[in-house]
């Protein structure tokens, strides 16, 4: 059976929990399906110059070496000339989504389409255009789906991503875009909407007439991660995420650090810090007098990443945008406690787990107090028995993927 994978995740160099989830699904689904990758519109819109195109082509070639076949139409679509007007008007009439669906000449050959990280409605138009059945998996929180334009603009201003007045016109456009997209999904519903936890399928998506499924476990760590635990913790806190941006709390981190000025401790940071946020981040750090206590390690994967996480005394994680949060799971697995915001996704997964301390969103002073307690205490807040049980339930990506594979197989009957 031929399964079309509709995603931007595999062509996106930002490694995160959602990207890891997509990779693990594909790794495990190869035995059940003949897989074909249909890159979403975002894949093509990220191309700004010839260098971007070369990098994308190299990424696709690397995927093909891993046995992931990218559909043949990909290379002709690369040659599209997409104007700023087309990008803008696409939010009103979906012209680029429809054009992409019609340009994928491989669609009629597919038995089913699956979007394993649903963050844009490409798969809906591809399914509608080809008459194919489809399913989606929601891996993260899509703000404009759940917030009105005013709330979304206020949110972006509050986290420091963009001013209210600058973001409002875009928020109005994006909110209208999602309302229309969801209306189309209601008329041409997927066979299933799966979520990596209950929060992911609540709200707007629950109104779509289809089978709503919560994947449990919805994420996992490699069992070998526990081998990186250390007995002696270092004198530093850690902030780690794939994308160091306002939605993940990079600016909140500095505001928390200002309340820890009297604590002799560095904060190490892991992830990709985009240039457009870097200047603002360091300027804020200078203002609060914490610049010299920040050590930026860059983007780290694998053994080196786990070693740093294991040696940290505490993980400071003021993220506004998380569903399951793989980084919190990884931190617990190496016995490093976490202080995080009490946002819906994290609360749903971790509220009963000793070692994850939740504080009200935007309460920087309270977060600093909780971090201070962990640093100054001789006892770890982690209950090793309960955490070990939790990690054991989340230590198999194969088990996560099997649920999604079965959903697709069931939809094909």
Tens-place pLDDT, residues 358-392: 999 999 999 999 999 999 988 887 877 889 999 99
List all residues 6 or more positions away from 74 whose beta carbon is below 8 Å from its beta carbon: 39, 60
How far apart are alpha carbons 349 and 324 in whole angstroms?
6
Tens-place pLDDT, residues 300-355: 988 899 999 999 999 999 999 998 999 999 999 999 999 999 999 999 999 999 99
211 token code pair: 């089978």
pLDDT at 259: 96
Residue 45 reports pLDDT greater than 80: yes
Mean pLDDT of 268-294: 93
Vertex 372 angle, CA 367 and 374, to 5°: 100
Residue 69 reports pLDDT greater than 70: yes
Of 103 and 207, more confident: 103
- 249: phi > 0 → left, psi -120 to 50 → alpha, else beta; which? left
- Phi and psi torsions of 196, nearest 5°: -75, -10
Residue 163 reports pLDDT greater than 80: yes
- Per-residue pLDDT band at 14 (split at 50, 70, 90): low
- Per-residue pLDDT band at 269 (split at 50, 70, 90): very high
3-state class (DSSP) for residue 15: coil
Distance between first and last Cα of the chain: 12
Whether domain 2-220+396-412 has CATH 3.40.50.2000: the reply is yes
Secondary structure of 69-137 as H, E, C letters: EECCCHHHHCCCCCCHHHHHHHHHHCHHHHHHHHHCCCHHHCCEEEECCCCCCHHHHHHHHHCCCEEEE
pLDDT more than 90, % of the chain: 76
Q: Considering the entire predicted model, what is its pTM?
A: 0.93
Mean pLDDT of 15-36: 90
Which CATH topology does 223-393 take? Rossmann fold (3.40.50)
pLDDT at 13: 61
Question: What are the residue boundaries of the structural domains of the chain, listed by start?
Answer: 2-220+396-412, 223-393
Q: How far is CA 251 from the centre of its chain?
A: 18
Residue with tokens 């509608």: 128
What is the layout of strands, in order, in the sheet containing 134-138?
69-70, 34-39, 2-7, 112-115, 134-138, 192-195, 211-214
pLDDT more than 70, % of the chain: 99
Domains 2-220+396-412 and 223-393 equal at CATH topology level = yes
Closest CA to 221 of 326, 148, 292, 146: 326
């Amino acid at each position: 059976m031929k399964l079309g994978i509709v995603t931007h995740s595999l062509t996106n160099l930002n490694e995160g929990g959602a990207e890891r989830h997509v990779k693990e699904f594909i790794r495990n689904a190869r035995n059940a399906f003949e897989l074909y990758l249909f890159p979403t519109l975002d894949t093509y819109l990220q191309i700004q110059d010839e260098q971007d195109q070369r990098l994308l082509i190299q990424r696709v070639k690397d995927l093909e070496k891993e046995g992931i076949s990218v559909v043949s139409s990909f290379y002709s679509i690369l040659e599209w000339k997409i104007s700023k007007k087309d990008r803008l008007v696409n939010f009103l009439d979906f012209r680029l989504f429809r054009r992409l669906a019609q340009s994928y000449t491989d669609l009629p050959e597919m038995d089913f389409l699956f979007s394993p990280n649903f963050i844009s409605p490409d798969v809906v138009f591809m399914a509608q255009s080809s008459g194919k059945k489809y399913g989606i998996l929601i891996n993260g929180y899509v703000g404009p789906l759940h917030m009105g334009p005013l709330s979304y603009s206020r949110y972006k201003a509050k986290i420091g991503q963009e001013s209210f007045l600058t973001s409002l016109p875009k928020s109005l456009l994006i909110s209208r875009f999602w309302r229309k997209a969801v209306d189309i999904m209601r008329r041409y519903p997927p066979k299933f909407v799966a979520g990596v936890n209950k929060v992911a399928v609540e709200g707007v998506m629950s109104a779509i007439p289809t089978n709503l499924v919560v994947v449990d476990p919805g994420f996992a760590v490699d069992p070998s991660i526990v081998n990186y635990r250390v007995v002696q913790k270092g004198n530093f806190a850690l902030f780690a995420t794939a994308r160091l941006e306002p939605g993940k709390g990079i600016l909140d981190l500095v505001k928390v650090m200002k309340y820890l000025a009297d604590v002799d401790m560095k904060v190490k940071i892991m992830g990709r810090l985009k240039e457009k946020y870097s200047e603002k981040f360091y300027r804020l750090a200078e203002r609060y007098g914490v610049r010299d206590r920040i050590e930026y390690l860059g983007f780290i994967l694998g053994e080196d990443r786990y070693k740093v996480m294991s040696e940290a005394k505490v993980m400071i994680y003021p993220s506004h945008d998380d569903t399951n949060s793989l980084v919190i799971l990884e931190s617990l697995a190496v016995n490093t406690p976490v202080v995080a915001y009490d946002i819906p996704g994290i609360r749903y997964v971790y509220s009963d787990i000793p070692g994850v301390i939740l504080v009200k969103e935007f309460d920087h002073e309270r977060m600093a107090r909780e971090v201070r307690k962990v640093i100054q205490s001789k006892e770890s807040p982690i209950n090793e028995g309960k955490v070990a049980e939790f990690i054991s339930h989340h230590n198999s990506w194969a088990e996560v993927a099997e649920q999604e594979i079965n959903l697709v197989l069931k939809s094909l009957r």
